[in-house]
Amino acid sequence: MKLPERAELRRVAATLLWIAFCFALSEASDAVASALFFVGAIAGTFVLVRQLRRFLGSASAPEASDRR
C-alpha cells in the first residue's frame, strides 16, 4: 500500500478545518451570515468527499514496479 503524500493530507486537513469553521460560525445571530457559512460548510463537505476519494484511490493504487 502506497502512503499518501503530505500535500494530500494537508488538503484534507484544511478542508476539515474549513467545515468546522463554517459550522462554528453558523451559530452566529445574524441570519445572513449563518446561511452563508452553512452553505460554505456544505460545499466544503463535497470537496472533502472528492479529496477522500482521490486520497483513498492513490493509497490503494499499486506502485509502478508492481504493475509489471
DSSP class per residue in 15-60: HHHHHHHHHHHTTSS-HHHHHHHHHHHHHHHHHHHHHHHHHHHHHH
Question: How high is the pLDDT of residue 66?
Answer: 52
Give pLDDT tens digits for 23-47: 777 666 677 777 777 787 788 888 8
Give yes or no for residue 52 having a pLDDT over 70. yes
Half-sphere exposure in the Cβ direction for 1 (13 Å, CA): 7
| Cell numbers linked to 61 | 493504487
The residue extents of the domains of the chain are 19-60
Number of Cβ within a 10 Å radius of residue 32: 8
More confident residue, 27 or 18: 18
More confident residue, 8 or 29: 8
Give yes or no for residue 63 having a pLDDT over 70. no
Cα gap 56→61, rounded to integer Å: 8
Query: What integer is the mean pLDDT of 5-24?
Result: 79
